[in-house]
Structure formats: C-alpha cells, structure tokens
A = this chain, B = another copy of it.
Amino acid sequence: MEALKNRIKQDGVVLGSQVLKVDSFLNHRVDPALMSAIGDTFADLFAEDRITRVLTIESSGIAPAVFAALRLEVDLIFARKRKSLTLRDDLYTEKAYSFTKQEENEITVSKHFLGADDRILIIDDFLANGQAALALARIVEQAGAQVAGIGIVIEKSFQNGRQVLQDAGYRVESLARVASLDGNEIRFVEVEAEVKAEVE
C-alpha cells in the first residue's frame, strides 16, 4: 500500500536495527484518514472470503480494524490483554509472549462473541514474531471458527512472524513489509504479493 509506505518513510522513526516507531500516525497519535484507507484495503483483500467478524487486540489494532469491519459490514471484536487472569469459564484465553516488551500476556475473548460458524479476519498493527497473531488464531480455533486470514499493517519481514503464521497454515496479507532498518534506513521488501499490487 503506497500511501502507507510513504507515510512510514516520512514519519517512521528508526531506533536501532530492530525497532520502528510509528507513534505519530498509528500507535499513539492516529491519522484517521489513513486508518480508513487501510481498512478499505483490508476489506478489498478479503472481499471474497465471507468474513463474519474482524478480530484484533487492544489497543493499536483497534483503529485500522474498525474501518475494515465497517467496510466488510461485520462486527469487530477486540481481544483484551492482561498480565495475569483468574481463569473464567466464559472466556477463551491464550498466552502470548511479547519479545518487544519482554513480558507474557494473557489474551482473552468472551465465548459469547465467537461461534463455530464464524469466519474471522484477524488484524494487527505489527507483525514481528507472530506470537500475538498466533494467540488470536488459536482463540478462533478454540471456538471452532475458521481463520480466513491475517491482515497486518506493518510487517517486520526481517523477523520470523510471517514464516510462523504461514507454517501454521494461515494466509498473511501485510500492507507494508519492512525488509531492513539497518543503517537507520527503512527499506521495504521489493516484490509484494500481486494481489496487493492490483488493489493499489
């Protein structure tokens, strides 16, 4: 998605070779027009997939995901992230380790809101090691529902998240794929999936 890549080039802040800060338009300050365009792009990519729900995780996934849900005319569910949790019968729960924050979170979704007939589009702001998306996918499968695909705003392609998710059998669509942050420069993966090229 060209508008997104241009924005990352313009406003992304590189911290070392691993960290890309985009808190001026995605993670803290949010550009709603860009989020709307991102939502439209996800909706186009998954238009034929009979999505019944969009699932994301608080907090940074919510803004792009709510626009995708609006365009797909389905509800959004945002999973909750907690440090520790009393087990509760009415919640699906999965653990996800965040390498960035070096902490384990429990991710929860109410059992009321996912059913065996659902076809779920998972959306997240970042893909690094894939642990958060994988935890969401496991929750979908706990519910007996289907993961129709995983939509990522920014993929750090120099980490193994895409491989992890593809090895688990999931379709991954990332709107911007960062190949490297070396030398304080943001470089994108050159050849993107043809589907995305058509959409843009």
Q: Which A residues from 112 to 146 make CB contacts under 8 A with B? A: 112-113
Please tell me if the beta carbons of A28 and B80 are within 8 angstroms of each other in the complex.
yes
A28 to B35, CA, bound (A): 20
Please tell me if the beta carbons of A32 and B70 are within 8 angstroms of each other in the complex.
yes
Closest beta carbon of chain B to A10's beta carbon, Å: 15
* Residue with the highest number of chain B CB atoms closer than 10 Å, among A36, A62, A110: A62
Please tell me if the beta carbons of A31 and B75 are within 8 angstroms of each other in the complex.
yes
- Copies of this protein in the assembly total 2
CB of A163 closer than 8 Å to a CB of B:
no
CB of A176 closer than 8 Å to a CB of B:
no
Give every chain B residue within 8 A of A66 (Cβ-Cβ).
30, 32, 35, 62-63, 66-67
A33 to B69, CA, bound (A): 9
Closest beta carbon of chain B to A62's beta carbon, Å: 4
Q: Give the residue name and chain of the B residue nearest to A33 (CB).
A: B70
Cross-interface CB contact of A76 among B29, B80, B110, B113, cutoff 8 Å = B29
A110 to B30, CA, bound (A): 13
Cross-interface CB contact of A30 among B28, B59, B76, B80, cutoff 8 Å = B76
A70 to B64, CA, bound (A): 12
Interface, chain A (partner B; CB < 8 A): 23-25, 28-33, 35-36, 58-59, 62-63, 66-67, 69-70, 73, 75-78, 80, 109-110, 112-113
CB-based closest 5 A-B pairs: A32-B70, A58-B59, A30-B76, A32-B69, A62-B62
